[in-house]
Chain A
Amino acid sequence: MASSIENNNEKLTLKSSDGEEFLVEKHVALQSTLLQNMLDSDCSSADVIPLPKIDARTLALVLGYCKKHADASSSKQGELNSFDSEFLKDMDMGALFNLVLAANFMEIKGLLDIAAQKIADTIKDKPHQEVREIFHVENDYTPEEEAAVREENRWAFEGFP
């Protein structure tokens, strides 16, 4: 997708954190509220738009999502739904986190939601220790503090019979 072709009015160029350039049709780019706002303001579409937080692999995924959603008519909701679930299907956690960050940064609500949903589904019903590993969270409670927290909301931990 990288391209050095001259931009015309219908396309704009995005540049990933690792320097790869992506030529994107404008209607596809408009899936991103961030880009939309940039285009609405005086940002010229001839400029290369740098996305310093998003690597090429992630950006390619994001643009694939945007293209699908931009091209599908609103009546194709069913098809989009199955595209969405396929899209994230075998993605590892690292890629998912990258994606959710990119969607957050570029303000692509639909993608943000499905990625967050997918992460939530993954951690649901997992023991704390595993969730800590997934999120790379270091447990900074002392054992006493942890017991206190647990006690405080005991009904959540034990269910509410």
Chain B
Amino acid sequence: MADDDRITGLPESVLVLILSFLPVHDAIKTEILSKRWQFLWTYLPSLRFSQDHATNEGFVAFVDKTLPLFNCSKLEKFGVDFDYQSRFAPNVNSWVRFAAGKGVEELCLDFYSVAAGFVSHELPQVLYTNASFRSLDFSLCRVTPKGNVAWNSLKKLSIGYVKLSNGVMEKILAGSPVLEVLELYGYGGFNRLDLSNNASVKRLILREFWGRYGPDSEHGDPEEDDEDGEHHYDSEEEEEEDDGEHDDFEEEEEDDGEHNDSGEEEDDGEHDDSEEEEEDDGEHDDAGEEEDDGEHDDPEQDEVDDGEYDEERLEISAPYLQSLEISCCIPRNCQLRDISSLVDATLDCDGSDDNNERIQDTLRGLVESLVHVKRLSLGAQATKVLVAMEAKGLSSRLLKCECVHTFLNKPDQPGITSIFKSSSNLETLLTEMSSTTNAESALLYRDCQGRPDHLASIQGLLDETLANLHHLSAEHRPQGVQLNEMQVLLTEIQAGQQQQYETMEQFLSSQKQYCEKLEHFISEYTQRFGPPPPQ
């Protein structure tokens, strides 16, 4: 069949679908192709506006101008990512109302704030009651429902870079009866996360706790956001200007705990007012000079709670949860209660600036809670804690896991071998090591099927890490351990380059490809230098 027949045969629904995978302005440009294409883009069922390199004003004007042209009666997705500033609040609200009016199912407001602070957008109250939403993604949006929340179809909720409160979390959970995935990043302000009435929630992701150390930014958009002069404000000058700007918070409404911040301690005096501000809570926290910690414990009463609000405390009850990720900065006092259904867990606080010492205890508690899960992934710090526990003979209680993925900072961490010994269910152990040496070095051990009680061979390794890795070899393998597959992978992981993997499977599959490359490398190595020395 001739190509022409085929292409003219592409139904408009398919063409529109293809357009929907383009950035909106690229989709619009296809109107120039021919008359048939002129209005195709106006039927796009999902709209994603990205600022890219546009100026704020240009972008906002573009969205304003374009939205009324869409004919689609039902919108599947609506997304905006741009450099938000508070003067755009009315525009954003009108976009969001437009989307909600079209019955949008996936709404994504992915704001960032280039200017200086974490300026956040107060979501309009109308959003809190909506039966169409299936997926919500808010970054830098303040979630402060005045009434109840009713998100009866909501499956996935993601909220980032804003503080919440116990009351808000309760409202959200009570109002989201079919929620499956809850993701919070740059979170804080609440100390209870009780999912025991949300049997549908299967996956919980907590990244980057904002406790007393929020982002160290001030009130946002210093340069531009000055409808009224006093907003003009930027981080360098925060101290002096600070008070000035307090008075413009008109509405009070909820002092969700971030006030603490507003803080330079010099101004404590004036903090009492903090109860009345509200508007910009999001960004307060940050004020971030370390000196203020001193006074942090303070003003934020958590309405619902027992008056004593410890912002470093977080208690998670989630009897139905199957998958949990806690990463980056974690609350100092973080406890897992009733996570009996959990099968998959990731605990990784390596990316944070947290002082190792300070979080040891927290990590230990978390690791202990997690050893029953089937698949466990631990960052370097958590691995270290696990190894230390192992060394103290706590092993019998440890690791019922079938699959463990760990990171090591140093290749010679002997404890890792004894973890095998105490892990009778272990089928897969994946170890990544970061190395400061320029290690193209790689090591791959592979167990042979059918010879489960010892490693069949060491396929090769590079000299500089050879010595360090001997302890992982055959003679250290305990009898009877059912390791069907053990891969020890030494890779160079530059700090910060560590990828985040959504699931263990994703990680494993990416590593498999890597392993194939390694095997090639190793066989060449063996040819040149012969097999590694016997143990």
Q: Is B358 an interface residue (CB 8 A)?
A: no
Q: Is the CB of B21 within 8 A of A160?
A: no
Most buried by A among B4, B23, B37, B53: B37
Contact B33 A75 (CB under 8 A): no
Which A residues are CB-close (under 8 A) to B31? 149, 153
Query: Complex Cα distance A123/B66, Å?
Result: 22
- Contact present for B509 and A161 (CB under 8 Å): no
Contacts of A75 in B (CB 8 A): 503, 505
B62, CB-defined interface residue at 8 Å = yes
Q: Does A104 contact B (CB under 8 A)?
A: yes
- Looking at the complex, which of B5-13, B108-116, B465-473 is the stretch in contact with chain A? B5-13
Stretch at the interface among A7-15, A30-38, A128-136: A128-136
Partner of B36, one of A55, A77, A137, A150: A137
Check if B33 sits within 8 Å of A137, measured CB to CB: yes
- Would B34 and A137 count as touching, CB distance under 8 A? yes
Kindly state whether residue A90 has any CB partner on chain B within 8 Å: no
Flag whether B25 is at the interface (Cβ < 8 A).
Answer: yes
Q: Which of A40-48, A59-67, A92-100 contacts B (4 or more CB under 8 A)?
A: A92-100
The answer to whether A116 and B505 have CB atoms under 8 Å apart is no
Main SS at interface, chain B: helix
Pairwise interchain contact A97-B18, C-beta atoms closer than 8 A = no
Q: Which residue of A lies closest to B11 (CB)?
A: A104
Q: Contact mask A70-82 → B, CB, 8 Å, 1/0?
A: 0000011111011
Query: Given A120-B22, A140-B34 in contact, is the A160-B54 Cβ separation under 8 Å?
Result: yes
**Would A136 and B26 be within 8 Å (CB), given that A76-B505, A81-B506 are in contact?**
no
Q: How far is the CA of A149 from the CA of B33 in the complex (A)?
A: 10
Interface of chain B residues 344 through 391 with chain A (CB within 8 A): none
* Interface size of A as a range: 35 or more
- Which secondary structure dominates where chain A touches chain B? helix
User: Is the C-beta of A156 less than 8 angstroms from some C-beta in chain B?
Assistant: yes
Which of A81, A121, A124, A160 has most chain B Cβ within 10 Å? A160
Cross-chain contact of A79 among B23, B502, B509 (Cβ < 8 A):
B509
A52 adjacent to chain B (CB < 8 Å): no
Between-chain CB contacts (< 8 Å), 29 pairs: A55-B1, A75-B503, A78-B501, A78-B503, A78-B509, A97-B10, A101-B6, A104-B13, A112-B17, A116-B17, A116-B20, A116-B21, A119-B18, A128-B29, A132-B33, A132-B34, A136-B3, A136-B8, A137-B33, A137-B36, A140-B36, A141-B32, A149-B32, A153-B31, A155-B58, A155-B65, A159-B25, A160-B54, A161-B54
Report whether B33 and A79 are in contact in the complex, using a CB–CB cutoff of 8 Å. no
Distance between B56 CB and nearest chain A CB, rounded to angstroms: 10
Name A98's contact: one of B6, B29, B37 (CB within 8 Å). Answer: B6
Given known A128-B32, A132-B34, A140-B35, contact A79–B10 (CB-CB < 8 A): no
Assuming A120-B21, A136-B4, A156-B28, is B13 touching A78 (CB within 8 A)? no
User: In whole angstroms, what is the CA distance A5 to B296 when docked?
Assistant: 76
Closest Cβ of chain A to B17, distance in Å, is: 5
Given the contacts A120-B22, A136-B7, A138-B34, A101 and B54 also touching, CB distance less than 8 Å: no
From the candidates B30, B61, B506, B510, name the one contacting A77 in the complex (CB within 8 A). B506
User: B95 in the interface, Cβ–Cβ < 8 Å?
Assistant: no
CB neighbours of A136 from chain B (8 A): 3-4, 7-8
CA distance A105 to B26 in the complex (A): 27
Within 8 A of A (CB), among B481-535: 501-503, 505-510, 513
Interface residues of A (CB under 8 A from B): 55, 75-79, 81-82, 94, 97-98, 100-101, 104, 112-113, 116-117, 119-121, 123-125, 128, 131-132, 135-141, 146, 149-150, 153, 155-157, 159-161
> Does B55 have its Cβ within 8 Å of any Cβ on chain A?
yes
Q: A100-B10, A160-B54 are in contact. Are A146 and B509 (CB under 8 A)?
A: no
Q: Could you say which residues of chain A place their CB within 8 Å of the CB of B14?
A: 100-101, 104, 112, 116
**Is B149's beta carbon under 8 Å from chain A?**
no
Whether B509 and A82, one on each chain, are in contact in the complex, defined by CB atoms closer than 8 angstroms, is: yes
Residue of B nearest to A153 (CB): B28
Whether the Cβ atoms of B505 and A77 lie closer than 8 Å is: yes
**What chain B residues lie within 8 Å of A149 (beta carbons)?**
31-32, 38
A117 touches B21 (CB 8 A): yes
Q: Given contacts A97-B10, A119-B18, A137-B34, could you give 13 more A-B pairs where the C-beta distance is less than 8 Å?
A: A78-B502, A98-B6, A100-B18, A101-B10, A113-B17, A116-B14, A116-B18, A116-B21, A125-B26, A128-B32, A136-B8, A140-B35, A141-B32
A83 to chain B, nearest CB (A): 9
Which chain A residues border B36 with CB–CB below 8 Å? 137, 140
Most chain A beta-carbon neighbours within 10 Å: one of B20, B21, B23, B59: B21
- Using an 8 Å CB-CB cutoff, how does the interface string of B208-234 with A read, 1 for contact, 0 for none? 000000000000000000000000000
Which residues in A have their C-beta under 8 angstroms from that of B54? 159-161
| CB of B19 within 8 Å of the partner chain | yes
- Give min CB distance, A90 to chain B, whole Å: 17
The CA-CA distance from A143 to B55 in the complex, in Å, is 31
Find B26's partner among A76, A124, A150, A161 (CB 8 Å cutoff). Answer: A124
Query: Per-position contact with A for B44-59: 1 when CB-CB < 8 Å, else 0?
Result: 0000000001110011
Per the bound structure, the CA–CA distance linking A161 and B53 in Å amounts to 7
Query: Known contacts being A137-B33, A149-B38, is A77 close to B503, with CB within 8 Å?
Result: yes
Pairs of residues from A and B, 3 with the lowest C-beta to C-beta distance, nearest first: A78-B506, A120-B21, A160-B58
With a cutoff of 8 Å between Cβ atoms, the chain B residues found around residue A125 in the complex are 26
A138 to B7, CA, bound (A): 11
Q: Is there an interface contact between B35 and A141, defined as CB atoms closer than 8 Å? A: yes
Residues of chain A within 8 A (CB-CB) of B55 are 160-161
Q: How far is the CA of A112 from the CA of B20 in the complex (A)?
A: 12
Shortest beta-carbon distance from A92 to chain B in Å: 10
Q: Which residues of B contact A112 (CB under 8 A)?
A: 14, 17
Closest partner residue, chain B, to A79 (CB atom): B509
Name the CB-closest residue of A to B508.
A78
Instruction: Given A119-B18, A120-B19, check contact A131 B7 (CB 8 Å).
Output: no
Bound together, the chains give a CA A149 to CA B10 distance in angstroms of: 24
Query: Cα distance A97–B21 when bound, in Å?
Result: 16
In the assembled complex, the CB of A8 is this many whole angstroms from the nearest CB of chain B, namely: 33
